Amino acid sequence: MADNKNLITGVLLEDVALTLEELARACEVAPDWVVRHVRAGTLGNAVAVQVTEWRFASADLVRARRLLRVERDFDANEDLAALVVDLGDEVRRLRTRLRALGFEG
């Protein structure tokens, strides 16, 4: 487990962006883990060409932590972890829509 003295904690706001290093530190992973997932299209939507210019929103942090949890807990590869996270997100969206329509489950 990583050294917790440099762990980033707190509440992220939508207009606050994390750098590559900050996101990696918040997830307790090496920056190359983040780079690999961004380049695979499973994390973030890095529009900057230079890795050092990438910025990540709070939703990216949540997704990164979910990806990491699936990879570690189930020894899943990147693609499988992304599929599991995508399906979980879709289930949450559908449940929210059903509640908005008055269906409780």
Predicted structure pTM score: 0.78
Backbone dihedral region for residue 44 (phi beyond 0: left; psi -120 to 50: alpha; all else: beta)? left
Q: Report the distance separating Cα 42 and Cα 60, nearest Å.
A: 10
Per-residue pLDDT of the chain (105 residues; tens, 9 = 90+): 445 555 555 554 556 789 999 999 999 999 999 999 999 999 987 666 688 789 999 999 999 999 999 999 999 999 999 999 999 999 999 999 999 999 976
Question: Which CATH number does the domain 4-100 belong to among 3.90.1150.10, 2.60.40.10, 1.10.1660.10, 3.20.20.80?
Answer: 1.10.1660.10
Phi, psi (5° rounding) for residue 29? -130, 165
Q: Report the distance separating Cα 91 and Cα 21, nearest Å.
A: 31
- Domains of the chain, residue spans: 4-100
Q: Report the distance separating Cα 26 and Cα 99, nearest Å.
A: 32
